[in-house]
Every structure is written in structure tokens, then in C-alpha cells.
Amino acid sequence: MTATYAEGVAHEHPSLVVVGAGIIGLATAFRLARRGHAVTLFDPDPAKGATYAAAGMIAPTAEIAPGEEANYRFQRGAIDAWREMAREIAAITHREVAIVQTGTLIVGWDASDRRLIDQFRSVATEFGAPMRALDRRDEPEPFEGLSTRITEGLLMADDGWLDPDDAVQSLMEANETLGVRLVRERVLRASSNASGVEVETDSGLTRADYGIVATGAQGLPGGLTVPKSPTVRPVRGVTVRVSSLDRSSLPTVRAYVRGRAFYMVSRPGGYCVLGATAEEKPQPLVEVGELQRLLRDGLDIVPELEAAPLLEIRNGLRPATTDLRPFFVALSEPGWSWSSGHYRHGVTLAPLAAQDALDAITPS
């Protein structure tokens, strides 16, 4: 849903504050600054929320789930939207955000996992998603490094990935070049009055014509309210980074293992992201049990992980809504809007969320 605010503001390029510098806030600030708006971005710890944990898959087809057809349709434009934003970033920073489109291979561990794939396939077919069945004996390459027990899979050739750390760094550099003021402070309170919006941090007050909240699962700062739904709840996820086999030219592996979901995104040089847990818990920490299940599933699917050096474990809180759909809504306080609910697709959707913000501020 898109909220429109531009009526009533006399100047062509109203100023903005953006609260939250995760991938959504960074991409939003970028789009607005590039269009000529003066943007101030607030975050005590930029890009260390859910964005930090993300694997970076842009996988509209592999992410298909029953009842989420609208999400799928929306996400189908994500790779093109990222390519366009990557070109714009490169023109400013000379940094290339690589968008790698090697597809996704979905496999199952046992007979009941393969039944889950059959169910997935029938939902995806209903949505008209492109995919094809693979037999390992005929086409062994996409199965490289996977357990010999896995003999078949489903290939979704349109899916892709990017490196979120790289995207964040590039957006931060582009924003700096475009004059976005990054204030490394938490917004304590926010409000609006006749002349615009106002935010309060430890160091004082900042005013602008409009404000956008992009705080992910952390919800609204004090002083702001949403007229009715949506609400956002945190769903914790953990990813593990290891050095292992380089499958970066092959499809990303996703698997059902004993009913759970596992994936491995492989980047050039063998930097692999294993993911991801999904716990309806708000604490930003890693439980031994959830880590153990993730690694056990990974070892079953990719036996070579046994000897892989462990690099890092990251966790983040995905911002989820009741209907699992993202939103861009007007808040009760004039001039304020809220962009969140991107759940497990925030990296994918960042350029589209940024476009929503731009459309609201500068309606055609």
C-alpha cells in the first residue's frame, strides 16, 4: 500500500529524515537523495540488524509458499530492480554490486522431504513459476558436492543472489557521495507539527518536511502510531558462514531436511552462507539447539562441510506481519510513513521498497 504526502509542501524537493539504516532505510535514502531530496539517516548501528544476518538470496521462485502468490508476483521484478539500482550505484561509486543469477536447486533428504517438494511444486505450478525437474544421472553438475543420496531436484533458473555486505557498503558510499547525512544515533521520539516532522536523539532535534521509519522488526519510535494494522513481529534467524566448496557458478542449494529448510549460498572463493533458522523469538541471540539442527542438516546435504573452517555466526530478527506481506503506510502523525514487514525477503525487496517511498514523496 502506498501513502502519498506531497500535497501541501511548497518546494519541489522536500527534505526527509529516514529512521533506520538497514537495507530498506539505506536503499530508500539512496533513491530519495538521487532524486535531489536532502536526506538525514538515523541509526546507532547501521546495517547490523536483520540485514547483517541475511544470505542475500533474490529467489522469488524458491521462496514460493502457499497463500503468498501476491508476494511472488511482487518479487518477480526484484532482480531487474536490483540490476537497475546496482547500475545507478556504480555510476556514483564505481563499485559493482554483483547480481548473480545462477538459479536455485531444491532437493529433499528423505521420502517425506521429497513429498514436501512435490507440494511446493504444485503450488509453484499454480503460480505459473518456471522450473524443471533434474535427474542427477543425466545432469550431475548442479549436484556437485551434495550427498550421493540425493539423486533428483527441482531447478528454478531465474533465481539469484547478491552479497548483502557488499550491497550495504556500496549503498553507504553512494549515500555519502550524494550528501545523505548519516547520524549514528537512535531516534528516541518522533513527532510532527505544522511545519513538518521532528526527531529527537541524544544530541538534539532534527526537523524535515517528511519522515520515513525503516526500523525493521524494532517497530516505531516513541511518539509515532499506526492508525490500525499492520503490526510487525520479530522472527529470529541464524546464518553460519564457513569456508567450503565454491559452488558460486552453480545453483544455490536449498533443501528440505527432516521437514526443515536448509540452504547454502556459495560465493566466489568458497565463502558459503548456511541458513537459516526461523524461531518466533524476539531475543537477538543464538541457541545451541537451533545451531546444532542447522549444522546437522547442512552436513547431511553437503558432507564436505565436515572439514569446513567456521568463519562466523550471525543472527537477526526478520520483520514479519500477520499476512507476511510488506507494507508502506501512512502513520497517524502527518508527514510520517512506515516501511517494514519485509520478513524473509528484505534484501530482495529493497529497491522496490525504495521506489514505494519515492512514489509517495513525488507522486507522478
Ligand X SMILES: Cc1cc2nc3c(=O)[nH]c(=O)nc-3n(C[C@H](O)[C@H](O)[C@H](O)COP(=O)(O)OP(=O)(O)OC[C@H]3O[C@@H](n4cnc5c(N)ncnc54)[C@H](O)[C@@H]3O)c2cc1C
Instruction: Answer yes or no whether residue 142 interacts with ligand X by CB under 6 A.
Output: no
Residues paired with 240 in a beta bridge = 274, 313
Residue closer to ligand X (CB basis): 6 or 358: 358
Report the chain's terminal Cα–Cα distance, integer Å.
16
Q: Which of residues 309-348 bind ligand X (CB under 6 A)?
A: 316, 318-319, 340, 342-348
Q: Which of residues 71-90 bind ligand X (CB under 6 A)?
A: none
Cβ atoms of 341 and 321 within 8 Å: the answer is yes
Q: Kindly tell me the burial class for residue 162, based on how many C-beta atoms sit within 10 Å of its own C-beta (0-12, 13-18, 19 or more).
A: buried
Judged by CB under 6 A, which stretch of 30-38, 64-72, 95-103, 217-225 contacts ligand X?
217-225
Residue closer to ligand X (CB basis): 138 or 202: 202
Residue closer to ligand X (CB basis): 49 or 142: 49
Instruction: Answer yes or no whether residue 165 interacts with ligand X by CB under 6 A.
Output: no
Q: How far is the CB of 235 from ligand X (least distance, A)?
A: 8
**Closest to 294 (Cα-Cα) out of 309, 273, 311, 316:** 273
Cβ atoms of 214 and 28 within 8 Å: the answer is yes
Q: How far is the CB of 8 from ligand X (least distance, A)?
A: 26
Instruction: Answer yes or no whether residue 215 interacts with ligand X by CB under 6 A.
Output: yes
Identified binder of ligand X from the candidate list 29, 32, 54, 308, rule CB under 6 A: 54
Instruction: Answer yes or no whether residue 298 interacts with ligand X by CB under 6 A.
Output: no
Identified binder of ligand X from the candidate list 57, 86, 97, 352, rule CB under 6 A: 57
Instruction: Answer yes or no whether residue 275 interacts with ligand X by CB under 6 A.
Output: yes
Identified binder of ligand X from the candidate list 29, 32, 55, 255, rule CB under 6 A: 55
Cβ atoms of 251 and 107 within 8 Å: the answer is no
Residue closer to ligand X (CB basis): 153 or 216: 216
Q: Is 85 left (phi over 0), alpha (psi -120 to 50) or beta?
A: alpha
Judged by CB under 6 A, which stretch of 108-116, 166-174, 232-240, 246-254 contacts ligand X?
232-240
Instruction: Answer yes or no whether residue 237 interacts with ligand X by CB under 6 A.
Output: yes
Judged by CB under 6 A, which stretch of 102-110, 118-126, 152-160, 208-216 contacts ligand X?
208-216
Instruction: Answer yes or no whether residue 41 interacts with ligand X by CB under 6 A.
Output: no
Mark residues 174-193: x for contact with ligand X by CB under 6 A, - for none: ------------xx------
What is the amino acid identity at position 301? I
Instruction: Answer yes or no whether residue 24 interacts with ligand X by CB under 6 A.
Output: yes
Could you list the residues that contact ligand X (CB under 6 A)? 19-25, 42-51, 53-57, 186-187, 214-218, 221, 237-239, 275-276, 316, 318-319, 340, 342-348
